[in-house]
Chains A and B, each alone.
Chain A
Amino acid sequence: MTRLRVTALDRKLLRDLWAMKGQAAAIALVMAAGVAMFVMYLSNFESLRRTQTAYYEQQRLADVFASLKRAPERLAARLAAIPEVAAVETRVVVDVTLDVPGFTEPASGRLLSLPAAGRPILNDVVLRRGRWIDPARPDEVLASEAFVDAHGFVPGDTVSALINGRRRRLVIAGVVLSPEYVYSIRPGEMIPDNRRFGVFWMARRALASAFDMEGGFNDVSLRLRPGASPEAAIAALDRLLEPYGGRGAIPRAQQASVWTLENELMQLQSFGFVTPAIFLAVAAFVLNVALARALALQRAQIAALKALGYSNGEVGWHYLKWALAIASAGALLGIAAGVWLGGAMIGLYNEYFKFPSLDYGLSWRVGLAALGFSLAAAVLGARAAVARAVRIPPAEAMRPEPPARYHTGLAASAGLLRRLPHAARMIVRNLERQPARAAMSVAGIASAGGILLVGFAFIDAMDRLITQQFEEALRQDVTLAFVEPRGPSALHAVARLPGVLQVEPVRIVPARLRVGHRSRPLAVTGLVAEPRLNRVLDLDGRPYPMPVSGLLLSSLLATALDVRPGDVVQVEVLEGRRPVRQVLVAGTVEDAMGLQAYMEIEALGALIGEGSTVSGAYLLVDEAANDALHARVKALPVVAGLAIKQAMLRSFRETLAENMDLMIVMNVLFAGIIAFGVVYNAARVSLSERSHELASLRVLGFTRTEISMILLGELAVLTTLALPAGSVLGVGLGWLIATGFTSEVFRIPFMASWPAHAWTWLTVIAAAAVSGLAVRRRLDHLDLVAVLKLQG
């Protein structure tokens, strides 16, 4: 006998599996759904991580970033002398207003200097198209690919920038990508808008002369020695930069693009484990029920195998292989689906994150882990059933199977049963006979409901967040930012711009908030006492007035700093005279906006010792005058930028819609699979346990419909119980996700609306109905003779 021969036992395995192919497929599908998510999330995580690491390495992304007002170039030598520092790159960086041909609204641009000769030591760019700038030509720039592509530019095209009051033509010589702007977002916005924000690199000399930065710099990046502490380097750097208007250095991890990417990676990783875990748990349960039933049917065979000399190990392994075969099929299907979905997902990332090449790849690690997890779930699910099989004494092969035990259950003792029709009585008895199993089925279906609800509610919440932010909180049409803080008279000038109906001042002050060892660099926003345009709202939409004195902190910030109202925060102002003040926390607000600190504008002015300066204004404008306003603003040297709410809203919705569609489809599909799998399995097990009884009833003259009622009624009861349970589970799960995965970027409140519940219920009912129909077809083909021929 050769070793490769399929043994009779394995043949039995294959045929038995084939006989329960419907159930096996349902279980494998649930597993596949979990595995697909795991593979999708984690392969994307790995692809992003791999690409990111290589990219940062290749382009020499700095370890520490700092900006300042102006320092002489000779300071660079002292920075390089900091013990932790391996390399220093000084730059001139300025934000300007752009006038883009064929685009009426003003856009924002950031100009970064390139060294006079050679490539930057740190934060090097990747030239994608065109050529490097000619140092002899001060008007040539390299432009970020996202911006160039959004406008359909080619090398040789031009844009105008308002540089220090003068309009300058910039010729795009080359198109580049930068590791600093993998995710490029205009300061103060929530989502990238590549048409309204562009990054440009130009010759140091040209940029410096336009901004009075000759012989100086206002931005510095450091590379640290391997193993050096970033904290120590930052402290030393901050000390050296302080006299020159340093705004507080940040480690690479806090650099905007790196940080956003890091947040996304963290989310991918946690979702990649949490969601699949739920699916695999459900799969394990379904497998357990299915296998327990299959083994119950095979009790006599198992005993016979043992009587014939098969050992416990052989018998156990045989039945474990059932589970492993199903899990392997599920895992392979899931990996295939996960790779396919992962490819689609990386497509989305390619729109958000600009890498030279972000390619999708599935590593062996993820593939094997997926297989490993599903096999583990299978073993977990099969363990109890297999152990029970192994415990069957071989002498039992000598006896017929004892009849199933029913007993007078709760419902009966309550006298409830007598008032129910026969079919209902049988349903109740059967559920009562296996209360644990019924409860598990309910839990399984409920977990499908829970997952669905979280998905629907999340979409709902996103939508509400947008509505709240854009319609209730940000009631201005336009946000205007000055290049430099200006006196109150600037507001009068703004009020006279074309179409302006209402003006509300804002003062934004960069500062580091510190409590003990906790600190966050951010901007304190000064608003009028009772803002009418840009309002601060809590999650319920209640507006918060500015406190007369002290800070109003977003609760996320309060948590990050571990402070409560009444505590004191040290505010280290990072501009002007850079005062350091102790400020009372007057209140906190449960908002959706991440890390925010607000003050009343006059109080803020007093705090920094500047009086009533403004750094920008919120405007209500007459739409008809939009073009005139835009044209006017583009020519105003004091204005750094104009953010148009409608445009922000549009781009936000566009980007989001794409993500949401994919999410809804996946959610409904995957949760539907769970609901289907659990219900179908429950139905098949019931059918198998009771085919004899049901066939007998048919022989006694019951109609197909009547016996279907018994079985389908049971499913209906399970599903009905599972619906509210699913809602509860979903709310709990959503709360867990909302609190567990809150990033500091922004916060999505979890609140399941009635429509979200309704959609959840409908989807679960639909999935249950489909499996009911599948079982009903089997009932219709119930072979009376065959069923009755078998003993009990």
Chain B
Amino acid sequence: MPAADRETVERALVFDARGLTKVYAMGDVPVHALRGIDFDLRASEFVVLLGPSGSGKSTLLNILGGLDTPTAGQVLYEGEDLARADDAALTEYRRRHVGFVFQFYNLSPSLTARENVALVTEIADDPMAPDEALRLVGLEHRLDHFPAQLSGGEQQRVAIARAIAKRPAVLLCDEPTGALDITTGIVVLEAIARVNDELGTATVVITHNAAIAAMADRVVRLADGRIAGVERHESRQRAAELVW
């Protein structure tokens, strides 16, 4: 799909975050992980978060995903403020709307690929079949393998299948290729891009690899808890064309 077409459609706002601040109390010294961030995300948008280590990327993503709450500021999701939601509401939010992909996969080692996906589809409202999710990430031939029998990239693709099987509104990935080599990393990124494309899932990917940014509609740079820059891409590169 040409990027220009996408631009013309004014897409619905998924997240509207204003003035996000996060302070961790480490003993007597407060650590300012986020210092007032405004961030929005639109449906089917693909955003890459870049920034040096410790700049607050994970903190931001965790807050968006309902894993954590900000010290100050608000995060509107479908009109609800996640910053003020209680634990049960956040659980409900994660369960219905968010797909997570972690750096270390975090699969259950005692469950097969299909069962790891089923873990999520069983508690979701309108999930796709686990097999279908795994087919989307190109793992239809690995359904009954245990994580230990899969390569790192395959494990990460299972994790992606697990994240998207519930047809989430947002897909949040924290360094999904961090533990992978280039080729495997590209396969994983392709899977994410494909989900974003085919299902229109709004996607946020954290990475240290600036090259990956070329895949995004928008690149947000963080530095020291602040937004240091935003760039929009007219056209997105395919993962296979990335130069690492």
Contacts and interface: CB of A to CB of B under 8 A. Distances in A.
Are A and B bound to each other?
A: yes
Interface stretch (A4-12, A36-44, A186-194, A693-701): A4-12
B87 A395 contact: no
A660 B235 CA distance: 89
A300 B109 CA distance: 11
Nearest to B116: A8
B119 A8 contact: yes
A300 B102 CA distance: 10
Interface residues of A, number: 30
Most chain A beta-carbon neighbours within 10 Å: one of B104, B106, B118, B162: B106
Contacts of A667: none
Contacts of B123: 309-310, 314
Interface string A304-336: 111111111010000000000000000000000
B122 interface: yes
Contacts of A306: 91, 94
Contacts, number: 90
Contact of B67 (A8, A314, A393): A393
B94 A397 contact: no
B88 A311 contact: yes
B95 A398 contact: no
Contact of A308 (B58, B88, B100): B100
B95 A309 contact: yes
B180 interface: no
Contacts of B184: none
A555 B226 CA distance: 85
B111 to A, nearest CB: 5
A207 interface: no
A310 B90 CA distance: 10
Given A309-B120, A398-B67, A12 B94 contact: no
Interface residues of B, number: 37
Given A7-B122, A8-B116, A398-B102, A16 B110 contact: yes
B115 to A, nearest CB: 4
B98 interface: yes
A9 B108 CA distance: 10
Interface string A292-303: 000000001101
Contacts of B163: 308
Contacts of A309: 91-92, 94-96, 98, 120, 123-124, 166
A interface secondary structure, majority: helix
A308 B90 CA distance: 11
B67 A395 contact: yes
A416 interface: no
B67 A307 contact: yes
A11 B115 contact: yes
Contacts of A11: 110-111, 115
Contact of B62 (A304, A314, A398): A398
Contact of A300 (B104, B119, B124): B104
Most chain A beta-carbon neighbours within 10 Å: one of B88, B91, B96, B109: B91
Contacts of B61: 398
B174 interface: yes
B65 interface: yes
B102 A397 contact: yes
B118 A8 contact: yes
B106 A8 contact: no
A12 B108 contact: yes
B67 A308 contact: no
Contact of B102 (A16, A304, A312): A304
Contacts of A397: 67, 100, 102, 106
Given A1-B122, A304-B100, A397-B106, 7 more contacts: A8-B122, A11-B111, A12-B110, A15-B111, A19-B110, A309-B166, A312-B91
Interface of A: 1, 7-9, 11-12, 15-16, 19, 300-301, 303-312, 314, 393-395, 397-398, 400, 786, 791
28 contacts: A7-B118, A7-B122, A8-B122, A9-B119, A12-B119, A300-B106, A301-B107, A301-B108, A301-B109, A303-B106, A304-B100, A307-B65, A307-B94, A308-B94, A308-B95, A308-B120, A308-B162, A309-B91, A309-B92, A309-B94, A309-B95, A310-B123, A311-B88, A311-B95, A312-B91, A397-B100, A400-B104, A786-B148
